């Protein structure tokens, strides 16, 4: 029997894995791929974004509650998951606001990347997915997540780097998750408008900068049949997701019809592949050796 393919998803906070690439992960798990979510912080400084959960006892125990939510989401998606131990940086309200001492976004790059390098060397993923260098949106933890993901991808195969974190392993492909694109939201907005459904996207689209995408979509993974699993995992993060909020304003059936994929940008590849792709593992065979260490 062939060895299983392995996928690692690197995220900043609990709930990010369910809002970014969750249906992709659910699909691959059902196809026999081993999937590990690495969550870099515990979301300790996150706010309660669901008004139905905005109670004093929830606010006081937000870190503990978010870990329990992550456990439920992990079970729903069928993935493995581990926290890498950093402290949430919070989202500054202005450019002048300083980040709190000791938070993830202020860590030196090598210190921040070391636990992820160790996780890569232990789990030995063929593919890593994470955010682009703007973080998907400019949260300091998301931007730092991109930096440590790129560092781990480039360093984990080098036996001279990060000694003491395990035997070298070189992942073969690194992707940026591209779920929040103007093209996607315009398509959903138009479909909702044509069907007489109120769309929440008009103002957002009108404020979108009219310029080419920094990271074009190279890979669209069909996964519409797993959108229900994605939504269940999202709802498991009850402090963060309002089941009556904008995230669920577009009917699932319409999403499945109009935009049945989750989308990615291939940022690094050590294997030959033809673009565009419909599979994160295009060009990869589980039994193939990884490239020689640097």
Number of domains in the chain: 1
pLDDT above 80 for 292: no
In a domain, 194, yes or no: no
Mean pLDDT, residues 69-96 taken together: 93
Residue stretches of the annotated binding site for Zn(2+): 13, 16, 142
Instruction: Indicate the range of 75-84, 118-127, 209-218 predicted with least confidence.
Output: 209-218
Mean pLDDT, residues 147-167 taken together: 98
In a domain, 185, yes or no: no
pLDDT above 50 for 235: yes
Q: Is residue 8 within a helix (H) or strand (E), and if so which, with residue range? A: strand 6-11
pLDDT above 70 for 139: yes
For residue 62, the domain's CATH number is 3.40.50.10320
What Cα–Cα distance (Å) separates residue 130 from each residue in 74, 97, 147, 204? 17, 26, 10, 24
Identify the pLDDT of residue 1.
Answer: 47
Phi, psi (rounded to 5 degrees) for 23: -65, -35
pLDDT digits (tens, 9 = 90+) for 1-48: 468 999 999 999 999 999 999 999 999 999 999 999 999 999 999 888
In a domain, 204, yes or no: no
Report residue 291's pLDDT band, with 50, 70 and 90 as the boundaries. Answer: low
In a domain, 287, yes or no: no
**Bigger pLDDT: 108 or 95?**
108
In a domain, 130, yes or no: yes
In a domain, 210, yes or no: no
Question: Which residue range(s) make up the domain with 126?
Answer: 6-180+215-250+261-269
Identify the pLDDT of residue 290.
Answer: 66
In a domain, 275, yes or no: no
Greatest mean pLDDT among 52-61, 90-99, 117-126, 193-202 lies in 117-126
**Bigger pLDDT: 1 or 230?**
230
Mean pLDDT, residues 272-279 taken together: 97
Residue stretches of the annotated binding site: 13, 16, 142
In a domain, 276, yes or no: no
**Is pTM, for the whole model, over 0.85?**
yes
* Per-chain mean pLDDT for the chain: 93
Identify the pLDDT of residue 140.
Answer: 95
What is the C-alpha to C-alpha distance for residues 9 and 95, in angstroms, rounded to an integer? 29
């Amino acid at each position: 029997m062939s060895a299983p393919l392995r996928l690692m998803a690197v995220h900043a906070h609990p709930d990010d894995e369910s809002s970014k690439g969750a249906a992709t992960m659910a699909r691959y798990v059902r196809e026999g791929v081993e999937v590990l979510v690495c969550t870099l912080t515990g979301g300790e400084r996150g706010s309660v974004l669901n008004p139905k959960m905005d109670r004093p006892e929830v606010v006081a125990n937000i870190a503990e509650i978010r870990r329990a939510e992550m456990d439920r989401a992990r079970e729903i998606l069928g993935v493995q998951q581990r926290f890498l131990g950093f402290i949430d940086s919070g989202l500054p309200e202005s450019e002048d606001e300083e980040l709190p001492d000791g938070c993830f976004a202020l860590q030196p790059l090598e210190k921040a990347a070391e636990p992820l390098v160790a996780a890569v060397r232990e789990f030995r993923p063929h593919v890593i997915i994470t955010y682009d260098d703007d973080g998907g949106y400019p949260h300091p933890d998301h931007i730092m997540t991109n930096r440590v993901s790129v560092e781990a991808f480039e360093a984990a195969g080098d036996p001279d780097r990060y000694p003491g974190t395990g035997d070298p392993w070189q992942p073969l492909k690194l992707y940026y998750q591209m779920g929040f694109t103007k093209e996607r939201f315009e398509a959903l907005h138009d479909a909702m408008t044509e069907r007489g459904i109120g769309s929440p996207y008009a103002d957002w689209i009108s404020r979108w900068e009219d310029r080419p995408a920094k990271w074009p979509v190279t890979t669209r993974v069909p996964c519409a049949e797993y959108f229900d699993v994605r939504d269940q995992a999202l709802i498991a993060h009850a402090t963060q997701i309002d089941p009556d909020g904008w995230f669920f304003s577009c009917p699932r059936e319409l999403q499945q019809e109009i935009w049945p994929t989750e989308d990615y940008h291939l940022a690094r590849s050590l294997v030959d592949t033809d673009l565009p792709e419909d599979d994160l593992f295009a060009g990869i065979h589980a039994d193939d050796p990884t490239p020689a260490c640097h």
